[in-house]
Amino acid sequence: MFKALRYFLTISLFGLVWAQQPRPLVLWHGLGDSANAPGILRFVEEIKSVHPGIFVHSIYLEEDIDKDRQAGFYGNVNEQVQFVSEQLAAIPELEGGFDAIGFSQGGQFLRAYVERYNSPPVNNLITFGSQHMGVSDIPTCGPRDFMCQIARRAVKAGVYSSWAQEHLVTAQYFRDPANLEGYYSSNKFLTSINNEILESRNETYARNLASLNKLVLIMFTEDKTVVPKESSWFGSEVVVDDISLTDDHQRVLADTRIPVSMYEQPLYQEDWIGLRELDERGDVVFGVCESVHMDIEDCWEAFVREYAGGDL
């Protein structure tokens, strides 16, 4: 009798411990960073202090830290997402699913993983300052960031050339509202994950994105790096002709950019990617960090506590 009771208590306690095991977390860093950069490693330790016992995997494209950083500037994003899908599928701790955090461009790359692969599946996807509807300007670079400067000049020189669309990462989510025809005809990444091309629209993308428990979209209110910053909330811009008069009554034709919210996007209205289904279910969360791009010091913890590390 006592042996049976002891066995029952042991099994019960084991089940309690198992039930309290936090769900694993996957991170995808942003442009100019790497999987094992000091800032990422420090963030991992802070997450572990919030969720003791959590397993955290930081996605890498190259094991060498310098090459991994370079891969954020140069590479084929479709191939990179496929590589990451194989990387995640090979990690035993992730077999039962995981939460995910994408920093800047890492956010739309993780969304691509969800839509195209999602095996193992993502539970909650949190994106900080990501460019879900692309960017209409190339981010500026630090004065000593020569790799970034070279990539920026190359993108601006021919963003919709076949070479740029195959090899320059930022070009593959550059969506110029003044040249949408060039974007639709040349882009093979953002047009794909946003299901913008009717002939190649993939219903699996919508099913997979709608399978998320929560999609948490965080925008930086003072963001000058992501243009427009509302891309973090699936916002974009359209260009309209604006005719004005100068002081000497000359007519001037200028392009004016008008913001388009998530709710006004055909992508949302026709539910090309499952975003509307998620939103109408109440599972799209709009968050803000009141700071410049990727300054998360005062705002990350509340999101990580609520949307990461839940019980398996």
Spatial contact of 188 and 168, defined as CB atoms under 8 Å apart: no
Task: Choose the catalytic residue: 68, 223, 271, 279.
Answer: 223
Task: Choose the catalytic residue: 34, 104, 231, 236.
Answer: 104
How far apart are the C-alpha atoms of 242 and 136, rounded to whole Å?
19
Which DSSP letter does residue 248 get? T
| Long-range contact set of residues 75-78: C-beta below 8 Å, sequence gap at least 24 | 75/167, 75/169, 76/166, 76/167, 76/172, 77/109, 77/112, 77/169, 77/172, 77/173, 77/189, 78/188, 78/189, 78/192
- Residue 99 CB coordination number (10 Å): 26
The verdict on whether 293 is a catalytic residue reads yes
- Before 52, cis peptide (omega within 30)? no
- Environment class of residue 181 by beta-carbon count within 10 Å: exposed (0-12), middle (13-18) or buried (19+)? exposed
How far apart are the C-alpha atoms of 110 and 194, rounded to whole Å?
13
- Residue 202 CB coordination number (10 Å): 16
Pairing label, strands 122-128, 98-103? parallel
Question: Which residues are designated catalytic?
Answer: 104, 223, 293
